[in-house]
Structure 1
Amino acid sequence: MARVLEFTHNTWLVAASFAVALFAGFSGLSLLRGASLMPIVQRKFLVAVAAIVLGGGIWSMHFVAMLGLQLPELFYYDGLITLMSALVAILMVGLALLVLHFARRTPVTITAAGCIMGAGIVAMHYIGMLGMEMCGPVFRPLGVGVALVAALALSSLAVWVAYGSRTRGHILLGTLCFAAAVVSMHFIAMTGTQFYRSDVASTAGPILSNAVLAMLVTVSSFVISGVSLLSGVSFFGSGAVSNAPEPDAEAAESSPGPSATLPETSPTALPVPYERDGTTRFAESATIAAVRAEGHYTVLYTGKDKFLCPWSISEAYSRLKPHRFIRVHRSYLINPAYVSEFQRTKDTGVCFFKNTESLAKAPVSRSRLADVREALGV
């Protein structure tokens, strides 16, 4: 019977693996802050980038910890299986993020996303371990079961914390929970794993020594850390609730009213009519912070000014909905790009505005709370 190999871990590399998980978690979760406000194409791109960062972070954390694994025998990795472990992590995390950012967020979808992410962590770990050569791992069923439960529970907790409310504090706490989920699952699984010397090597791909693996992990960790630093600039430097595009800086400083003539609009802008001095003029939809019902008409709020629009609130909603306006109350439409703060008040809510002196806030009815929270990413 083959002898069980004793193993230990390098303490510094264990700490480094936790740091990598923290950087990856922060990068992926902060990149997607406010993504619900973005066009679908841009949202898909950010989800793909975040999936690569989070999935690559899970993979990097695992192999940083494996570099710290100290066995009495030399071992190496099958390059193909090692690559498969990284791709599985990225795909599973990507699926979880798609659920979070393209499906309606409910307790069921949030929990499902957390479980998918946890399953991805477990799958990446055990596929990566199967790539070991010369020191074959043997997994005890109890260890696998405990690791799976830990991964599902902690990943679900991380997603609930990060997506229960999309504030900076929740994202930072979710980052900590994500790192704890990845690292805890890894070492729980390792306690349920035994190693035996194997003289038979059957690699399906190129051989990866610890030295080559160390270089790959160093590069991936460097990229993740760089993305984390870049994410931190916008994450801590913006005071807005979301990452929605800011209004034109020059217009915000001077707070002008809408243009007196039909503006040169961008392809995604809509000219909105209003009455002034007995003539009909037009405002670009991107300059409008909110629309309020006024009998059979509506009032447009832009900068310091407000103007009477001939559209009814229903017509305004029908025309402005494709331009990212949302209905928050039977009498109010808002442009999420101008929202600076959202407050929940029992069964209703309030949206506060920036650069809009003509309107400080707009009420949110109970039936519209879910739509507002989804649009603002909170």
Structure 2
Amino acid sequence: MLFSYDPMLVVASVLVAIMASFTGLRLAGDLSALPAPARRIRIAEAACALGGGIWSMHFVGMLALRLPVSISYEALNTLSSVLVSILITGLGLSFVHMGERRLWRTAVSGTLIGLGIVTMHYIGMRAIGGNCLVEYGPAGILLSSGIAILSSIAVVQIAYRRRTLLQVSLAAVLLGITISSMHYTAMAFTRFIPVSELVGLAQPMIQDGYLALIVALAAFVVCGLFLLTALPLPAAGWIAAPAGAPIAAAFAAPEPQVASKPAAPKPAAPRAQPDAADKLRLPYEQGGLTFFLEAARITAIQAEGHYTRLYEGQESHFCPWSISKVEETVAGRNFLRTHRSFLVNLEHARAFQRKHDKVFLVVPGPEDNLVPVSRGHVPEVRKALGL
């Protein structure tokens, strides 16, 4: 059977895909600055937004389809398609954050997202019933799968190369077009065959066009609500400055309450001037703001892709600098490279430990408080510790 599309609903389906892609990628960015529990919640939100948006695009695209016979959609396969989409795309987004970002990890993540798109489509197509049978061409399956997987890999690479709004927006547009292209490419190789006996189907309570607009609007509202949850909250101590006041006034601490009978102030002891190491500060990002941490308080620094993680005791902070830039900045101070992925502040080194053929420094902060020392750096570390 020949079929056609409603142009307005096709445009709506593409916009839904782009909006859902932006929401999912935006929520899945800057996770390194969050603690582990909040990170897992944010990934779940991103998976729901992206997976649900992929399904919404598919559903609106199917409602845009115009066939000469009436069709229906089975509830179980329709529900399964959205759940599978959320699950597989969630795995793809999670895989990016499971360790140091490498090209192979980007490829696996993009492949999972692409497979989520393809799987959702064909499970959703199985829900079609009524007065036609559906056949798929092998060329369409291969071509649409290739579009979904290769484009998703490119999307992950673009979105996580630099976590700027422009990069995420470009990746979202590409992913939205990818989802739509995969859908309509697969549909171009799909055949609808009329059955011998027509089945009488009840008229839907809402016409397809109105239903598609309702689904599209609901997808935009849900994505908007998810994006609102990702807005940074004011940090502790942030105070709104009066109009016309200097910007620094917004960071000023509140004035303490004056007691009715204040005690006589004691003369303050003279304070030693901080040396150059105390003055050195490294930037870290949290909640959309950039803060600065004194280098002397940092116990260890770990590479995390193109970025780093600063450990301050048991707390960790996301630093936008690469480990090579950090090493260059702290050169000549108490920091020592112990491994290709680690710098250690020797002032905070508690112990030198051997485990079989491996060597570690015990430093507060990293996992198990152990920082690996590679074989090539062992002599230098021992010398610095006076061993």
Task: Work out which of the residue numbers 215, 219, 222 in structure 1 matches 2:217.
Answer: 222
Superposed CA offset, 1:71-98 (max 9, x none):
1111011110010011110001110111
Of 4, 7, 22 in structure 1, the residue corresponding to residue 3 of structure 2 is: 7
Aligned ranges for residues 1-150 of structure 1 at < 5 Å? 5-133=1-129, 134-150=131-147
**Which secondary structure state, in structure 1, belongs to the residue aligned with residue 239 of structure 2?**
helix
Mapped to 2, the partners of 1:367 and 1:244 lie a distance apart of 35
Q: 2:134 aligns to what SS in structure 1?
A: strand
For residue 250 of structure 1, the aligned residue among 236, 239, 245 is 239
Contact persistence 1:77–1:209 (CA under 8 A): no
| Structure 1 length-normalised TM | 0.65
- 1:1-378 pair list within 5 angstroms: 5-133=1-129, 134-198=131-195, 211=206, 218=213, 220-229=215-224, 246-250=235-239, 253=249, 277=269, 294=277, 314=299, 320-325=312-317, 336=318, 342=320, 348=325, 367=340
Structure 1, residues 333-356: CA drift from partner, whole Å, max 9, x if none?
xxx4xx7xx5679x636999xxxx
CA 201–159 in structure 1, closer or farther in 2 if over 3 Å, else same: farther
Would you say the 8 A contact 2:299–2:313 is kept in 1?
Answer: no
Contact 1:92 1:120 in 2 (8 A): yes
How far 1:163 sits from its partner (Å)?
1.3
Gaps of 5+ in 1: 258-275, 281-290, 326-335, 353-362, 371-378
**1:142/1:22 Cα in 2 relative to 1: closer, same or farther (>3 Å)?**
same
Amino acid of the structure 2 residue aligned with 1:194 = R
**Distance verdict in 2 for CA 1:184–1:314, change over 3 Å:** closer
C-alpha change, 1:277 and 1:76, in structure 2 (3 Å) is same
Q: Distance in 2 between matches of 1:127 and 1:32?
A: 26
**CA distance change for structure 1 residues 16 and 314 in 2, over 3 Å: closer, same or farther?**
closer
In structure 2, C-alpha distance between the alignment counterparts of 1:8 and 1:156, rounded to whole Å: 31
Secondary structure in structure 2 of the residue aligned to 1:324: strand
Tell which has more relative contact order, 1 or 2 (C-alpha 8 A, sep 6+). 1
Deviates more, 1:57-66 or 1:150-159: 150-159
Runs of 4+ in 1 over 6 A off after TM superposition: 212-216, 231-235, 306-309, 315-319, 349-352
Structure 2 residues not aligned, in runs of 5+? 241-247, 254-267, 283-291, 303-309, 330-334, 344-387
Residues 78 and 208 of structure 1 are in contact (CA less than 8 Å); yes or no, is this contact kept in structure 2? no
The RMSD of aligned alpha carbons is 4.5
Write the letter of the residue equivalent to 1:9. Y
C-alpha displacement of 1:38: 0.3
In the TM superposition, what is the alpha-carbon distance from 1:168 to its structure 2 partner? Answer: 0.8
TM-score (norm: length of structure 2): 0.64
Read off the aligned partner of 1:225 and give its amino acid letter. F
Change (3 A) 1:232 1:49: closer
Distance in 1, Cα, partners of 2:76 & 2:39: 31
Q: Deviations over 1:278-313 (max 9, x none)?
A: 699xxxxxxxxxx9984xxx56869xxx9999x786
